[in-house]
Chain A
């Protein structure tokens, strides 16, 4: 008996000793920092991670919480049906620091993207792998930097002055004052110059979706234009045009629609200069389901019924009452109609409809690349900037805008327009060219402060046009109109942020009138 007890006790003692080590456990499905940042493969992985953050609802495809197309609900182009898809329909009526949806998600999403870049830039120099050459390293850093610039582009456009973060933050250093938009923009432009110097001068097709020199030039031109530097924008855009790397897609019967029609054609178009790439089944979004199926975003009749005669973009953008309804077909409704639940306006958006037949089985998930910058924008930036930076449009400005118009079967723009008339024509073409893309109309209303004059004149929700004659009823005195407050040109910092750091941020919102 005693022997047995001794034996048992020694077994137990052994267990006690061996158990000590078992309290030091490490995850086996994640990388821990200690063992990372050694090889080129580590840089490849973290760079892909930086790109992966672009898949944010409001700037790319969307997974049910809004998309790059939902911004039309804040403009005279469209109307958002569901408040839960990014809160756009609420923002169209009121903007407060407590507003939910995109006002919160974009702020936090952008900084998540920026944190990934900062972490990459902070660590990538530690890699001393011979396979990771200096030029590759410089190129990778330029790609990451470009993406950081792109995030700050969104932040400055929407929130104007924001905390500018370019190194990883810790709890001790996280409370930061905001930086003036002009100062941030200066940093962005200098970062972009750095990118332009280090990125390969090839097309997006050749780079398989990696950022290239042209992407950085185009973003630079856009930022210059949006910040009123017309001369600079004209120079930058001209450099791209003269580089001749990129061109408008004119192949096929529907060259415009094809730009948005999924991976196979999209990856081969040199017009696309920067996009977030998707692929079924690994990387998907609900863009087609939202725009064409659930009709989450409705075109306003004042917009959709006022295409210029002959504009080929019309049929390639919108399905009207009685037209074929692509996604509707999976529910047995092959034609767009106007009964409750189908669409408020009697229209559906065809943009971003893939070419393949649509089924319910993959839950509406599609893989079209969401385009951020394409060559058409460079041409229109050039036209506008060239005219705005001088006395009026010259032949090169006309040539640029007409290239875009010709692709859509439109005639040359009337010659001899004044500077203002020409600007309005460019804005009109931008409105129709970039409908449901990249919040372009919203940004245009902002930078020319047009929202205050245009929006209060349109009914909200839209009045339904007679679907047969296309006549839009006129609003009367009791028709609810769209609301606008000039303070809305600059969004407030989300209240949650102010609450956490009132010392730095409370004054920011107050000064904006919130």
Chain B
């Protein structure tokens, strides 16, 4: 009696241990690792208890199979399975049990994972070809897709229980196969294959991973659904699209992948990218319009995840798919699924990426000192009158021309290229009953400007345990620590200075007396005061922001009876932020007088520490029942409950005056004018929900969902609301009349209707309160704490509702050769939660009320084409476009603010400006007729449209002139694979989007000095009769700011653009090359982001992509062009 245990994982043990020692990971990683060791030997861990009296060996085997997951393979002609024995086992392992059963007989057994193969004494399989061949038998070899033999594959003659199992070399033998039989090959994690046995004696099989079909199943609210049975508007982004992009912020990878999902990156600043996301347009006013983001079913924030751990993302756009999230779904829902372990062998993968970044566009301000000086003189004359003396004399200008003085190109001064590093180590694997996936990553991204920095460490780990057929459970944890650093004088001030500092100034100068090199403030000779960019960068202090995010989840699944599943998940999403700002002055000098213009003095150094933290707890429990009746009617019923509560707290402290700038902690500061503060707030929501899916013959589909939400944000009696939805689907391609058109693989018509809610209106909006704090207090020789009445209260506040209608059509020709998916939607948001229009005489802030209606209508189209040319070459193209029209249906009195208007019948917050019609030329008859604010204009000034025809341009002549939100967005993905090479590219574009920007950079010489936009070189002069750029002026000089500075379309920029967002070229090392190494696969790739752009707004200072809702700061940290080189190695 010999025994032989084979583990699928044995080879993998040693490397893991070694890595653990080396890496010294957190104990949780070790814990997860240990779990994986424990899991490896199911045969050792499983203990059985049973008693059998006088039973056949066969029936005992069957009993063991039913009690556990073991499967037996043997040849009944050799092993006498009808032999009756009696056995009593009490909590014993399979080894001990087998020893008892087989006794002293000359048999050996092998345990391969949970398959028990009984062999003869020589180790030959009882069912292998070496055995005596009786009747008709079929033999063969089963291997996996990479050609490795696959042991433990079950082979069954269809319709019987007879069959066999492959041995460790993947060989099998099935005896006594009837002539017309079909063999069924099955293995966990692989697609089951059925092959006819007729006429063959050898059948070799290659099993395919089931994961290939993962796109066929999509995540839906609280579950999964087969793609074919979906009735709603759902977009799924698989890992192929996600991996194509080399991004550092996860949501950036979604940009352009889903029609209707608009994503803008408002800044290139590492760690502070300001991502703005909207699904199908601006949905509401007053409240948040960000989609609900769920990570593995639990509310969270995807941007703090390492993009690499995301397996796929599902976007729920219509009511049929999103209504299951009821009150928080009005802005759409994004489901993020992270990577989990699978039943493969343990895989260790290491990925490393090195990138270098530069701005997509430098600031377009004049950087040549002579050009600057000439323009300034002209502008001053144009503004103050012809007699104005030149500010820069001919002598000054000559000195810059002959090189006596040198200016500075501040763009070149501030921007440098950086080196970004990313490293990831992942481990994953599992058996049928334990799967795990865990990993760490590190990102180090210095800024392209000095003193900007970001680094991020992430850890994630998850495991899924299947204790038995009845119960399974799992958990996951992810932790992120992000450290962001920026100059203390705010990034905006730093950027502004680099954009507008006069090119005549220099960063430093040498004091002629002391010979010291000193920071020069941005001022040459008699020029007026200006800040010193180098002093700002080097010595204005620092802001560091540390964000810790911890996401914990645990779930348990119970399957008490076939088809019924009860799942409960409990999770917490915790963020803690530590924000530390030190501000002090650095010595900066004015070269002219050689005097110090700002002085480093630690007594003036201030330190503010602000610590907000937030905890969101989620608990949900769902009961799902799946049932098919007569192979025609299939039902899926789900009922659930969820409770979420969120608590937000913060504390801050401030001190002014420190002994030295090296002592940057609160305790070191003076207590003379210290302050501190803190606050907290809470909300909670409780929900009951249910879903019914029914399909008839997989042809006619019906979905119904309902959710009842109760929110703490409303008064008793107003807390609850119900959000229903219905979806219908018709799989036309399954109809009999379509059978004759085999090239149509799929054709489906979908329609849905439903209501979604929004409750995001602050935490206690219905309660009447008094505001405390410094702003309510007063000084009566000491602080008297004060209280002032809070906002006017509307106790009858209730939910905002969005009703969504959606019609969709899917078509697939020749399994993906061509595919099309189209959606039409019409969303009406009503009872919008907004500030009431309160008379000023009330004297209190407006209460939130339910009022107004907003409509978003649009179409979305996805077109795909893929083709396998031959076994070495295939390619694919995928294009999508989303068009959204927004309209205010009812609002009340027009509201004008920030140059935009909310007016019934118009787009929400459409730009509302004077329309520039050109530039006044010298002989224009309108010069005499058309006044601006009662003043006569002169040639070279902007001419506006007189809407009311009263001969005077006033704010009454404003009109709706542009879109604040993009109308059309589109994306094109394309790729190809040739042998071991692969290539992918992504193009993204936005159209029908305008942005408004005035003052800094757009109007010349703001603050009497700022270097203007280069476009001003083409300004109107009597000789150059431009009709688009007015005569140059000094905006802040006396009289300078009142003729061209009226908010008009002159300052409106068309923000349309098309951008080659990404190209990636990769090479996979051939398996033959790696065979002799421990490496199982290796890939190198090159990736470029934001490579080429076509803009419409040639006059803008910055990248159009920086605009958010049509507004942006024109001195924003630039967008980045990135070149990356990456390597991925798997062991």
Contact code string B546-587 (vs A, CB < 8 Å = 1, else 0): 000000000010101000001010000000000000011100
Tell me whether A176 and B841 are in contact in the complex, defined as CB-CB below 8 angstroms, given that A4-B471, A22-B712, A25-B764 are known contacts: yes
Q: Is the CB of B568 within 8 A of A33?
A: no
Question: Is B697 engaged at the interface, CB distance under 8 Å to the other chain?
Answer: no
Q: Is the CB of A360 within 8 A of B843?
A: no
Report the bound CA distance from A291 to B786 in whole Å. Answer: 30
Contact code string B769-802 (vs A, CB < 8 Å = 1, else 0): 1111011111111111111111010100000000
Query: In residues 1-33 of chain A, which contact B (Cβ within 8 Å)?
Result: 1, 4-5, 8, 12, 15-16, 19-20, 22-33
Q: Is the CB of A30 within 8 A of B771?
A: yes
Q: Is the CB of A23 within 8 A of B711?
A: yes
Report the bound CA distance from A30 to B1036 in whole Å. Answer: 43
Q: Is the CB of A52 within 8 A of B786?
A: yes
Q: Which of A115, A334, A499 contacts B843 (CB 8 A)?
A: A115
Q: Is the CB of B840 within 8 A of A111?
A: yes
Q: Is the CB of A341 within 8 A of B1007?
A: yes
Contact code string A315-341 (vs B, CB < 8 Å = 1, else 0): 000000000000000111110000111
Report the bound CA distance from A484 to B619 in whole Å. Answer: 68
Q: Is the CB of B847 within 8 A of A171?
A: yes
Residue of B nearest to A2 (CB): B560
Question: Is B184 engaged at the interface, CB distance under 8 Å to the other chain?
Answer: no
Residue of A nearest to B527 (CB): A339
Question: Is A209 engaged at the interface, CB distance under 8 Å to the other chain?
Answer: yes
Residues of A within 8 A of B685 (CB): 23
Segment with Cβ contacts to A, from B274-282, B597-605, B1020-1028: B597-605
Question: Is A391 engaged at the interface, CB distance under 8 Å to the other chain?
Answer: no
Report the bound CA distance from A443 to B769 in whole Å. Answer: 38
**B964 CB to closest chain A CB, in angstroms?**
20
Residue with the highest number of chain A CB atoms closer than 10 Å, among B772, B780, B839, B954:
B839
**B1081 CB to closest chain A CB, in angstroms?**
42
Report the bound CA distance from A90 to B842 in whole Å. Answer: 28
Report the bound CA distance from A283 to B778 in whole Å. Answer: 8
Q: Is the CB of A112 within 8 A of B844?
A: yes
Segment with Cβ contacts to A, from B335-343, B444-452, B676-684: B676-684
Report the bound CA distance from A93 to B1034 in whole Å. Answer: 19
Residues of B within 8 A of A333 (CB): 529, 590, 593, 597
Report the bound CA distance from A132 to B956 in whole Å. Answer: 54
Residues of A within 8 A of B719 (CB): 23
Segment with Cβ contacts to A, from B52-60, B291-299, B738-746, B1038-1046: B1038-1046
Contact code string B656-689 (vs A, CB < 8 Å = 1, else 0): 1000000000000000010100111111111000
Q: Is the CB of B774 within 8 A of A283?
A: yes
Q: Is the CB of B711 within 8 A of A48?
A: no
Q: Is the CB of B772 within 8 A of A31?
A: yes
Residues of B within 8 A of A331 (CB): 521, 529, 590, 597-598
Q: Is the CB of B683 within 8 A of A25?
A: yes
Q: Is the CB of A360 within 8 A of B598?
A: yes
Q: Is the CB of B768 within 8 A of A32?
A: yes
**A172 CB to closest chain B CB, in angstroms?**
11
Q: Is the CB of A344 within 8 A of B1038?
A: yes
Report the bound CA distance from A116 to B781 in whole Å. Answer: 22
Residue of A nearest to B560 (CB): A5
**A498 CB to closest chain B CB, in angstroms?**
9
Q: Is the CB of A48 within 8 A of B786?
A: yes
Residues of A within 8 A of B770 (CB): 30-33, 36, 45-46, 49
Residues of A within 8 A of B1041 (CB): 83, 89
Residues of B within 8 A of A116 (CB): 788-789, 843
Contact code string A32-72 (vs B, CB < 8 Å = 1, else 0): 11001000001011111111110000000000000000000
Tell me whether A8 and B558 are in contact in the complex, defined as CB-CB below 8 angstroms, given that A23-B710, A278-B779 are known contacts: yes
Residue of B nearest to A45 (CB): B787
Query: In residues 734-776 of chain B, which contact A (Cβ within 8 Å)?
Result: 763-764, 767-772, 774-776
Q: Which of A1, A29, A50, A174 contacts B841 (CB 8 A)?
A: A174
Q: Is the CB of B776 within 8 A of A26?
A: no
Question: Is B643 engaged at the interface, CB distance under 8 Å to the other chain?
Answer: yes
Question: Is A313 engaged at the interface, CB distance under 8 Å to the other chain?
Answer: no
Q: Is the CB of A339 within 8 A of B526?
A: yes
Q: Is the CB of B712 within 8 A of A24?
A: yes
Tell me whether A111 and B598 are in contact in the complex, defined as CB-CB below 8 angstroms, given that A31-B772, A32-B767, A361-B604 are known contacts: no
Question: Is B103 engaged at the interface, CB distance under 8 Å to the other chain?
Answer: no
Residue of A nearest to B838 (CB): A174
Contact code string B458-489 (vs A, CB < 8 Å = 1, else 0): 00000000000011000000000000000000
Q: Is the CB of A170 within 8 A of B792?
A: yes
Residues of B within 8 A of A114 (CB): 843
Residue with the highest number of chain B CB atoms closer than 10 Å, among A26, A46, A113, A361:
A361
Report the bound CA distance from A170 to B645 in whole Å. Answer: 33
Residue of B nearest to A79 (CB): B1038
**A175 CB to closest chain B CB, in angstroms?**
6
Query: In residues 681-706 of chain B, which contact A (Cβ within 8 Å)?
Result: 681-686
Residues of B within 8 A of A483 (CB): 934
Residues of A within 8 A of B603 (CB): 361
Q: Is the CB of A8 within 8 A of B556?
A: yes
Residues of A within 8 A of B763 (CB): 25, 27
Report the bound CA distance from A208 to B893 in whole Å. Answer: 46
Question: Is B1124 engaged at the interface, CB distance under 8 Å to the other chain?
Answer: no
Question: Is B641 engaged at the interface, CB distance under 8 Å to the other chain?
Answer: yes
Query: In residues 844-889 of chain B, which contact A (Cβ within 8 Å)?
Result: 844, 847
Q: Is the CB of A175 within 8 A of B784?
A: no
Question: Is A426 engaged at the interface, CB distance under 8 Å to the other chain?
Answer: no
Q: Is the CB of A480 within 8 A of B841?
A: no
Residue of A nearest to B775 (CB): A52
Q: Is the CB of B769 within 8 A of A31?
A: yes
Question: Is B635 engaged at the interface, CB distance under 8 Å to the other chain?
Answer: no
Query: In residues 926-947 of chain B, which contact A (Cβ within 8 Å)?
Result: 933-935
Residues of B within 8 A of A24 (CB): 712, 716
Tell me whether A169 and B839 are in contact in the complex, defined as CB-CB below 8 angstroms, given that A32-B767, A333-B529 are known contacts: yes
Q: Is the CB of B778 within 8 A of A12?
A: no
Q: Is the CB of A29 within 8 A of B680?
A: yes
Question: Is A450 engaged at the interface, CB distance under 8 Å to the other chain?
Answer: no
Tell me whether A340 and B790 are in contact in the complex, defined as CB-CB below 8 angstroms, given that A25-B683, A32-B769, A281-B673 are known contacts: no
Q: Is the CB of A277 within 8 A of B843?
A: no
Question: Is B314 engaged at the interface, CB distance under 8 Å to the other chain?
Answer: no
**B740 CB to closest chain A CB, in angstroms?**
52
Tell me whether A171 and B836 are in contact in the complex, defined as CB-CB below 8 angstroms, given that A115-B844, A359-B604 are known contacts: yes
**B31 CB to closest chain A CB, in angstroms?**
23
Question: Is B212 engaged at the interface, CB distance under 8 Å to the other chain?
Answer: no
Q: Is the CB of A163 within 8 A of B841?
A: yes
Q: Is the CB of A12 within 8 A of B841?
A: no
Report the bound CA distance from A114 to B1042 in whole Å. Answer: 35
Report the bound CA distance from A176 to B839 in whole Å. Answer: 9
Q: Is the CB of A500 within 8 A of B560?
A: no
Q: Is the CB of B568 within 8 A of A8?
A: yes
Q: Is the CB of B560 within 8 A of A45?
A: no
Residue of A nearest to B893 (CB): A499
Q: Which of B558, B710, B786 contacts A45 (CB 8 A)?
A: B786
Residues of B within 8 A of A175 (CB): 839
Query: In residues 94-148 of chain A, which contact B (Cβ within 8 Å)?
Result: 94, 96, 98, 107-108, 111-116, 118-119
Q: Is the CB of B784 within 8 A of A332?
A: no
**A177 CB to closest chain B CB, in angstroms?**
11
Question: Is A81 engaged at the interface, CB distance under 8 Å to the other chain?
Answer: yes
Residue with the highest number of chain A CB atoms closer than 10 Å, among B380, B521, B779:
B779
Query: In residues 167-224 of chain A, which contact B (Cβ within 8 Å)?
Result: 169-171, 174-176, 208-210
18 sample A-B contacts, Cβ–Cβ < 8 Å, listed by A number:
A5-B558, A8-B568, A16-B641, A23-B710, A48-B776, A48-B785, A52-B788, A79-B1038, A93-B935, A112-B843, A278-B779, A283-B779, A331-B597, A332-B597, A341-B527, A496-B840, A500-B838, A500-B893
| Besides A277-B780, A332-B521, A332-B595, 11 other A-B contacts (C-beta < 8 A) | A22-B712, A24-B712, A45-B784, A46-B787, A53-B788, A79-B1038, A174-B838, A332-B589, A360-B604, A362-B604, A462-B1038
What 3 A-B pairs come out closest when comparing CB atoms? A115-B843, A341-B528, A361-B604
